[in-house]
Chains A and B, each alone.
Chain A
Amino acid sequence: MSATGRFLRDNGLTLAFGVGFLLSLLGQAIAGHAELNSVLEAQDLHPLSFVDYLFTSDFMVDVTENWQSEFLQFSLYIIGTVWLVQRGSPESKPLDRAGTETDEQQRVGAYARADSPRWAAADGWRRALYSRSLGLVMSLIFLLSWLAQSVTGTIAFDEEQLRQLQEPVGWTTYVMSAEFWNRTLQNWQSELLAVTAMVILSVYLRQRGSPESKPVGAAHAATGVEG
Chain B
Amino acid sequence: MAQARVLFVLFLLGVFGGLAYAFTVGLTHR
Contact B3 A152 (CB under 8 A): no
Contact B30 A11 (CB under 8 A): no
Is B25 part of the contact surface with A, judged by Cβ < 8 Å? yes
Given contacts A55-B30, A57-B30, A145-B19, contact A152 B25 (CB under 8 A): yes
- Specify which chain B residues have a CB less than 8 angstroms from the CB of A18 in the assembled complex: 7, 11
Main secondary structure of the interface of B (DSSP, over half): helix
Is A144 part of the contact surface with B, judged by Cβ < 8 Å? yes
- Specify which chain B residues have a CB less than 8 angstroms from the CB of A137 in the assembled complex: 12
* Whole-angstrom CA separation of A137 from B11 in the bound complex: 12
Contact B3 A7 (CB under 8 A): yes
A: contact size bracket: 20 to 34
Q: Which listed residue, A10, A15, A63, A154, touches B22 by the CB 8 Å rule?
A: A63
- Specify which chain A residues have a CB less than 8 angstroms from the CB of B21 in the assembled complex: 60
* Whole-angstrom CA separation of A5 from B18 in the bound complex: 30
- Specify which chain A residues have a CB less than 8 angstroms from the CB of B27 in the assembled complex: 151
CB proximity of B27 to chain A, nearest CB, Å: 6
Contact B26 A60 (CB under 8 A): yes
Q: Which listed residue, B4, B19, B25, touches A57 by the CB 8 Å rule?
A: B25
Q: Which residue of chain B is the closest to A154 with respect to CB atoms?
A: B26
- Specify which chain B residues have a CB less than 8 angstroms from the CB of A141 in the assembled complex: 15-16, 19
7 contacts between A and B (CB under 8 A): A11-B3, A15-B7, A59-B25, A145-B22, A148-B22, A152-B26, A154-B26
Apart from A60-B21, A144-B16, A145-B22, list 15 A-B contacts with CB within 8 A. A11-B3, A11-B7, A14-B7, A14-B11, A15-B7, A56-B25, A57-B26, A59-B25, A60-B26, A63-B18, A64-B19, A141-B16, A148-B19, A148-B26, A155-B30
Interface residues of A (CB under 8 A from B): 7, 10-11, 14-15, 18, 55-57, 59-60, 63-64, 67, 137, 141, 144-145, 147-148, 151-152, 154-155
